[in-house]
Amino acid sequence: MVVTSWISSKASCSGVERITLSRTKVLYKQLLAWLLQGNLFDPYEEFFIVPAQPGRGHTTPGLHPPSMTQEDTSTFKSKAKRYRLKAEMVPGHISLKLAEKIFFIGESIQLFETDRKLEVQGSVLRERETEVYEKLAALRDLREFRVVEFERFVDSVRETASRHLHSLLLERADLKEELWIARNFFFLGRGELFHTFISSADGYLEQAPSATTQHDVRQTFSAACRSILQDDEKITKKIKVNVVIPNGDESKVKPIGWKCLTLQYSVPWPLHLILSEKSLEDYNRVFQFLITVKRTQLLLHKMWALQKWRKAESFSFVSQLRTHMMFVVDNLQQYFMADVLETQFSVLLKKLDQSTNFEELRQAHDIFLTAVSTQTFIDNNAVAQCLNELLSVCLQFCRAIESNSEQSFSSSKAVSSLALIFSRQSGLLFQLLTSLRNHHSGSHLTQLLLRIDFNRFFSTHGHEVASIV
Partner 1 sequence: CLFGNTFPRIRERFNESQQSSGRERRARKSLCLNRNPKILNPIPIEPIVLTVLTVIMPCEMIMLQLGQCGNQIGFEFWKKLCAEHGISPEGILEEHATEGTDRKDVFFYQADDEHYIPRSVLLDLEPRVINNIMNSEYKKLYNPENVYLAKDGGGAGNNWASGYSQGQKLYEEVFDIIDREADGSDSLEGFVLTHSIAGGTGSGMGSYILERLADRYPKKLVQTYSVFPNQETSSDALSSVGVSDVVVQPYNSLLTLKRLTRSADCVVVLDNTALNRIATDRLHISNPTFSQINELVSTIMSVSTTTLRYPSYMNNDLIGLIAPLIPTPNLHFLMTGYTPLTTAADTQAAIRKTTVLDVHKSLQRIRERKLAGFIPWGPASIQVALSRKSPYVKTAHRVSGLMLANHTSISSLFQRALRDYDKLRKREAFIEQFRKEEMFADGLEEMDDSREVVQRLVDEYQAATKPDYLTWGMQQS
Of 155, 242, 407, 457, the residue at the interface with partner 1 (CB under 8 A) is: 457
Burial class of residue 330, CB neighbours in 10 A (0-12, 13-18, 19+): middle
Contact between 226 and partner 1 per CB under 8 A: yes
| Structural contact between residues 299 and 400, judged by C-beta atoms closer than 8 angstroms | no
Instruction: Return the sign of the alpha-carbon dihedral for residues 60, 61, 67, 71.
Output: negative
Q: Quick check: 114 binds partner 1 (CB under 8 A)?
A: no
Cα–Cα distance measured from residue 358 to residue 167, given in angstroms and rounded to the nearest whole number: 8
SS (H, E, C) 324-355: HHHHHHHHHHHHHHHHHHHHHHHHHHHHHHHC
Candidates 77-85, 96-104, 111-119, 217-225: pick the segment binding partner 1 (CB under 8 A).
217-225
Residue 277: name the closest of 49, 72, 57 by CA: 72
Q: Contact with partner 1 (CB under 8 A): which of 125, 326, 361, 369?
A: 326
Q: Is 450 a binder of partner 1 (CB under 8 A)?
A: yes
**Nearest to partner 1 of 124, 468 (CB atom):** 468
Q: Which residues pair with 83 in a beta bridge?
A: 51
Name which of 292 and 297 has its Cβ closer to partner 1.
297
Contact stretch for partner 1 (CB under 8 A) within 11-19, 97-105, 187-195, 347-355: 187-195
- Is residue 253 a contact point for partner 1 (CB under 8 A)? no
Give yes or no for a contact between 468 and 320, defined as CB atoms under 8 angstroms apart: yes
Q: Count residues contacting partner 1 (CB under 8 A)?
A: 57
Q: Which of residues 265-304 bind partner 1 (CB under 8 A)?
A: 297, 301-302, 304
Q: Does 451 bind partner 1 (CB under 8 A)?
A: yes
Cis check: omega of the bond before 43, within 30 degrees of 0? no
Name the residue nearer to partner 1 (CB basis): 252 or 311: 311
Question: Does residue number 252 form part of the binding site for partner 1 (CB under 8 A)?
Answer: no
Q: How far is the CB of 332 from partner 1 (least distance, A)?
A: 11
Residue 94 vs 181, nearer CB to partner 1:
181
Q: Which is nearer to partner 1, 157 or 239 (CB)?
A: 239
Residue 187 DSSP class: T
Residue placing its CB nearer to partner 1 in the complex, 343 or 373: 343
Query: What is the spatial distance between Cα 361 and Cα 353, in angstroms, rounded to a whole number?
Result: 9
Handedness of CA 219, 220, 226, 231 (dihedral sign): negative
Q: Rank residues 187 and 258 by Cβ distance to partner 1 and give the closer one.
A: 187
Per CB under 8 A, 41 contacts partner 1: no
